[in-house]
Amino acid sequence: MSSDTRDHLTVLNEFGTDPGELRANTYIPKTFPKNGPLVVVLHGSTQSAESYDSGSGWSAFADECGVALLFPGQRRANNAIGSFNWFNPDDSRRGGGEPLSIRQMIKQVVDDHAVDASRVFITGLSSGGAMTSVMLATYPEVFAGGAIIAGLPYRSATTLMQAFFRMKGYGSPSDRKLNALVRKASKFTGPWPTISVWHGDHDTVVDNSNADSIVGQWQKIHKVEGPPTRVELVDGFPRQVWCDAEGRVVIEKYIIGRMGHGTPISAEGDGGLGEEGKYMLEVGISSTRQIAGFWGLTAHSTEEGR
């Protein structure tokens, strides 16, 4: 992606009380139509909104397909390595902390740019993936779909020590417990956001058992318990999907073979997006493009997020 695109993220200065004391940037392409969709993009540890955007290619995709983007950003004053505090009880509940800050940003962008409030989506990597889980659980009415990349289930940890254990794949709560935690996070009764899960099978930072736990957390909510409805190959990688009673895909999972910790990208060729870099891993499949397709944001999408 060209540098002039990524240098044009715009600071969002005013978006409510901001109890989590976060930063916010936006990218509204010239192709954005009235009542267009919004994607919220959460960076991982040691990253910034700009670095994650350049690696993932979201703003280049936004230019192609007329999508508004919001990039919440962590401040080092809140976390020494720039991680979202997904495990902190004050930052993983509805009505306060970082989740409320992100909710306030979303409302501001929806109001400022005439976004279709029924087409708001969220994605993130690592701590941003774990915070994506937080947002989907605490504000499910806001999102049509979410994509969790190398992340963790909602409320699987409530202390820093627990967070390290869960990241290594130890001691995760049962699927039943994880399901109950989502249901207790709000008074929402549905329809629930669709869930996309991505993880590398060689991830030594966040063990890929967390991908199974995320799926398990949401299966009962979506009434799709049990094995996947089908498994198919996408760009050479297995995609597991769970369909509801109407045949709509409500959960998908990609485990990327021989990939470590990071966001899967495909930067080469005519349809390439993003730039290879730290935690931005060239593996021949663009998670950005596939996630957007799952959400119905591409011209040739066959599945819609809601």
Q: What is the mean pLDDT of each run of 10 residues along the chain (306 residues)?
A: 57 97 98 97 98 98 97 97 98 98 98 98 99 99 98 98 98 98 97 98 98 98 98 98 98 98 96 97 98 91 46
Per-residue model confidence (pLDDT) at position 7:
64
Q: Which long-range contacts (CB under 8 A, 24 or more apart) does 248-251 make?
A: 248/303, 248/304, 249/194, 249/294, 249/303, 250/192, 250/194, 250/195, 250/222, 250/224, 251/194, 251/195, 251/196, 251/197, 251/215, 251/218, 251/219, 251/222, 251/224
Structure tokens at 148: 């969790």
Q: What pLDDT, on the 0 to 100 scale, is given for residue 8? A: 84
Active site residues: 126
CB atoms within 10 A of CB 126: 29
Can you give the pLDDT at residue 225? 98
The predicted pLDDT at position 6 comes to 44
pLDDT of residue 64: 96
Find, among 290, 301, 288, 304, the residue nearest to 236 by Cα: 290
Cα–Cα nearest to 146, from 159, 132, 165: 132
Query: Residue-wise over 211-234: b if at least 16 C-beta within 10 A, else e?
Result: bbbbbbbbbbbbebeeebeeeeee
**Domains of the chain (ranges plus CATH)?**
3-294 (3.40.50.1820)
Strand order in the sheet with 10-11: 10-11, 23-27, 68-73, 38-42, 120-125, 145-149, 194-200, 249-256, 237-243, 230-234
Maximum C-alpha span of the chain: 47
pLDDT at residue 301, rounded to an integer: 54
This prediction's pTM = 0.96
Q: Is 175 helix (H, G, I), strand (E, B) or coil?
A: helix
